Amino acid sequence: MQLLLRSARVVDAASSFDGQVCDLLLENGLIRKIGTNLPAAEGVRVVEADNLHVSPGWVDMRVLAQDPGFEHKEDITSVCHAAQVGGFTTIVLLPNTQPVIDAKGSLGYVQRMAEGQPVSVHVTAAVTKKAAGEDFTEMLDLHHAGAIAFTDGHHPLQNPDLLLKTLQYLQPINGLLMNRPEEQLLTLFGQMHEGIQSTLLGLKGLPALAEELMIERDLRLLDYVLGTKPMERKTENPPLPILHFSTISSARSVELIRQAKAQGMPVSCDVAAHQLVFDDSALAGFDTNLKVNPPFRSVDDVAALWAGLADDTIDAIVSDHTPQDAESKNLEFDQAEFGIIGLETLFAAAISYNQNLSLTQLITKLTIRPRQILRLPAVTIAEEQPASLTLFDPTASWVYDRTVSKSKNSPFLGQTLTGRVIGTVHQGHFNHSA
């Protein structure tokens, strides 16, 4: 396939063409030539659009496919279609399926199902059997079988000894532990952020303290594993993370991770796009599509998350795509399941509600940093480099009036958003998203 991207503004902090408007000639999965007014030979497909932007293909580090086990909510094919429509060329799946991805058999099933999809699919494996937090999985075997990282996904690791030993096991293989921080004894039966709003609405709270305590604990355990003094850890370049905190949500969490990074600790973190949009006041109408964990917190917390993105404390933005069917959401608020679908709206949500983050900074959170954290090969816009690209218009308005996901649990359905994905180029194919 030959493709010519006409007059596209490059958004790639690692590219010498960053910020320039160029033509890109793509052939056989590679960027063959970058220039201006490149001729379109016979048989070359030309892609043109108003305000066309191009960046390396986007990466979503946190996606739940619900397959195997809950295919009526989402399956591998539908989740990959939603990812492509949302502008992603690579996604990372959580192990919280039925059965849990905790052995080579279940890992292999997802890997086989992901073959031939419009996006590259990487799979995390569970740290503990059935993600139950009790017995270790065969992590070394799973690593050699292709697991990209280890996590119990939606189930935070409660046992400190398990987390400590996991960090020790993963160090020799340059592995990555991803953990969602939550002390669940403090959040038992919780429905939303603990604060004035939860009191007014009469709902049991999920205190920010539960997240912050676990981050402090995990950092102390990592410090113990490293066994070096803070001054001995500092290097010119940030260290490759051993421990990654998923979907942080509070101002104190941002500050704790900021301090850990300043001490040279090998940590990273991400934030879900919807956490950058809503605060706990949005739940006044008891819309179960807004019921998520971690919950939407205060206005000050939202501002702190944006500040953490701006100063690179927060490394990545994720969708935390969690499909739930109508039977799981059309219930009383305290009975409804947690979760939002977000693959198709991540970019638009971040752009529409942006708090002083430059476009290059935002795209870096979807491209360069996730690949570094996940130990994936770098993708950059340069001649003779692989053509894994996302095409978009950051200023176009559009209405999110339908979803290709099997589930519909999105608070953005029916809303007008800014930032439209035009398509992706990946593995030699151009996929239009409109």
> Are 7 and 90 members of one domain?
no
Q: Which residue has the tokens 């539960």?
A: 210
Q: What are the beta bridge partners of residue 188?
A: none
Tokens (6 digits) for 131: 């993600």
Angle (deg, nearest 10), helices 104-113 and 76-85: 50
Task: Say yes or no: 344 and 243 in one domain.
Answer: yes
CATH (domain of 360): 3.20.20.140
- Mean pLDDT for 390-412 is 97
Taking only the tens place, the pLDDT of each residue in 223-232 is: 999 986 665 6
What's residue 236's pLDDT?
55
Residue 8 structural domain:
2-52+385-398+417-432
Kindly state the tokens that stand for 364. 């870096």
Are residues 37 and 62 both part of a single domain? Answer: no
Does residue 403 lie within any of the structural domains? Answer: no
Cis, peptide link before residue 294, omega less than 30° from 0: yes
Where residue 20 falls among pLDDT bands split at 50, 70, 90? very high
406 assigned to some structural domain: no
367 & 426 share domain: no
Instruction: Report yes or no on 266 lying in a domain.
Output: yes
Token pair 């191009």: residue:
54
pLDDT value, residue 230: 62
Q: Tell me: the pLDDT tens digits for 165-211? A: 999 999 999 999 999 999 999 999 999 999 999 999 999 999 999 99
The residues facing 430 across adjacent strands are 425
Say how many domains are in the chain.
2
> Which residues are identified as catalytic?
320
Q: Which of 63, 67, 60, 1 is nearest to 30 (CA)?
A: 1
Are residue 233 and residue 159 in the same domain, yes or no? Answer: yes
Residue type, 434: A
Do 212 and 252 form a contact (C-beta atoms < 8 A)? yes
**Strand pairing of 267-272 and 243-245?**
parallel
Check whether the bond before 172 is cis (ω within 30° of 0).
Answer: no
* Mean pLDDT for the stretch of residues 84-103: 98
Mean pLDDT value across residues 12-21: 97
Same domain, 295 and 164: yes
The answer on 352 and 225 residing in a single domain is yes
pLDDT band at residue 239 under the 50/70/90 scheme: confident
- Beta pairing partners, 9: 21, 53
Residue 412 lies in a domain: no
> Are 74 and 43 part of one and the same domain?
no
Half-sphere exposure of 130 (CA within 13 A, CB side): 3
Question: pLDDT band for position 144 (50/70/90)?
Answer: very high
Q: Note the pLDDT of residue 232.
A: 63
CATH number at residue 48: 2.30.40.10
Provide the percentage of residues in the chain whose pLDDT is more than 90. Answer: 93
The Cα–Cα gap between 371 and 129 comes to 27
Look at residue 267 and tell me if it is in a domain.
yes
* 64, HSE (Cβ side, Cα atoms, 13 Å): 25
59 pLDDT higher than 90: yes
In this prediction, residues 107-132 reach a mean pLDDT of: 97
Q: Do 135 and 248 share a structural domain?
A: yes
Same domain, 425 and 363: no
Q: 293 in a domain, yes or no? A: yes
Q: What is the pLDDT of residue 380?
A: 97
- Looking at residue 423, its amino acid is G
Give the mean pLDDT of the chain.
Answer: 95
In a domain, 411, yes or no: no
pLDDT band at 47 (very low <50, low <70, confident <90, very high): very high
> What whole-number distance in Å separates Cα of residue 273 and Cα of residue 2?
34
Instruction: Give the residue-averaged pLDDT of 75-96.
Output: 98
Same domain for 178 and 238?
Answer: yes
State both tokens at 413.
């359905």
Q: Are residues 191 and 284 in the same domain?
A: yes
Q: Is residue 112 part of a domain?
A: yes
